Chains A and B, each alone.
Chain A
Amino acid sequence: MTELDVRQRVLAANEAAAAALRERFRARRTLVVNLISSPGSGKTTLLEATVAHLKDRFRLGAIEGDIATERDAERLRRLGIPAHQILTGGSCHLDARQVAAVIDPAGLGDLDLLLVENVGNLICPTSYDLGEDFKVVVLSVTEGEDKPFKYPAIFARAEVCVVSKMDLLPHVPFKLDEVRGQVRTLRPDGTLLEVSATTGAGIGAWCDLLTARLAAKRAGA
């Protein structure tokens, strides 16, 4: 019997691919955000509002991860930006190699802001670095307010938490203060934004955050 100390990250191969992507995005000064949420939280609708708000000022592009259908990428292409759909065929997350493989063929190699919408799932995408600048977790008010403590890994890792569908708050028993407290507990230095893509409330603050982060990246921060 041979004994061997290994001490290696299980996802080292993905992390190496993510590091190469991150270097490439750094050289191009492309800000990359990785949006993660459960299905139906309004990620694509948030991105539509983001594109409408920012597309005249910046070169935007999107990668949409889904198990099946081109629908999400089509929604964003209709707004006039390049958007590529990665069909994972049953896999529950995007990985860095999938993203790296589509950047050039999809014309996403020279952008100011690349929006990556992960497969709708609060668990698996958490583990896979895509070379992004930061992760954004989206939680809609129609979900339970216990989500952060139920899925602590993503809420601890996401620098930004977007509470979406705020226009529906008066109609649902969602305890916003409870969510604020749970998110702050898991990510004390994070940013929580409350938005409604339907009414436009909070979209300005969200886009300001993206714009400020892009400016910082361009300045080499």
Chain B
Amino acid sequence: MHELGVASEVLRVCRASAGSGCARLERVTLAVGELSAVEPDLLRFAWEAATAGSPDAGAVLEIEWRPARQVCEACGDIAERATGSWLRLCPRCERPLRVEGGQELDVLHLSYEERETPADRLP
């Protein structure tokens, strides 16, 4: 259960990227790979815990799931597979497959509400 640590890092990256003009985070989009060792549901739960009681409480965490790909060494095809199931050989040419991708754990995008600056308050 390292998702709480991961959620804290997501928050840190977002806050550092948004800078001091950020009043509150509104929405954060993450890429989470199938081989990232991070469980999306646990991460959403941890995100709530990491932001609770802060101005960012209630910020939406949107997760884009990135499956790993099994690519045939021989024909270059990406074998079709369901998440969590793994093929031993290429369905077309029965040659070994290599595993690519699925290791993503990235903050892609965020939106935030800006802090009111003194200039905003001028009549």
Interface residues of A, Cβ cutoff 8 Å to B: 1-14, 91-93, 123-124, 126-127, 149, 152-154, 156-157, 181-182, 184-189
Does B51 sit within 8 A of A, measured CB to CB?
no
Within 8 A of A (CB), among B17-40: 17-18, 21-22, 26, 30, 34-38
Contacts of B94 in A (CB 8 A): none
**Which B positions have Cβ atoms within 8 angstroms of A?**
1-2, 5-6, 9-10, 12-14, 17-18, 21-22, 26, 30, 34-38, 68, 86-88, 96-99, 102-103, 105-114
4 further interface pairs, Cβ-Cβ under 8 Å (given A2-B22, A123-B2):
A1-B111, A2-B111, A4-B17, A186-B86
Residues of chain B within 8 A (CB-CB) of A189 are: 98
Least CB distance from A125 to B in Å reads: 8
Decide if B6 touches A5 in the complex (CB within 8 Å): no
Q: Are B108 and A123 in contact (CB under 8 A)?
A: no
B109 lies within 8 A of A123 (CB): no
A96 shortest CB reach to chain B, Å: 13
In the assembled complex, 27 residue pairs joining A and B whose CB atoms fall closer than 8 Å, in A order, are A1-B112, A2-B18, A2-B112, A4-B17, A4-B111, A6-B13, A6-B14, A6-B17, A6-B108, A7-B106, A7-B108, A9-B106, A10-B9, A10-B105, A14-B9, A123-B2, A124-B1, A153-B37, A153-B103, A154-B37, A156-B35, A157-B103, A181-B88, A185-B86, A185-B87, A187-B99, A188-B97
Chain A nearest CB from B32 CB (Å) reads 9
Q: Which residues from chain A contact B10 at a C-beta distance below 8 Å?
A: 10
Q: In the complex, which of the residues B30, B37, B113 contacts A126, with contact meaning CB atoms closer than 8 Å?
A: B37
A2 surroundings in chain B (CB, below 8 A): 18, 21-22, 111-114
Question: Is the pair A157, B14 in contact by a Cβ cutoff of 8 Å?
Answer: no
Question: Which of these, A8, A127, A186, A187, contacts B36 with CB under 8 Å?
Answer: A127
Assembly CA distance A209 to B55 (angstroms) = 52
CB proximity of B106 to chain A, nearest CB, Å: 6
Q: Across the two chains, which residue of chain B brings its CB closest to A187?
A: B99
Q: Tell me if B18 and A4 are in contact (CB < 8 A).
A: yes
**Chain B residues within 8 Å of A11, by CB:** 6, 9, 105
CB of B9 within 8 A of CB of A13, answer: yes
Bound CA span A202–B9, Å:
41
C-alpha gap A118/B88 in the complex (Å): 30
- CB-CB nearest in chain A for B89: A185
B117 to chain A, nearest CB (A): 13
State how many angstroms separate the Cβ of A60 from the closest Cβ of chain B.
29
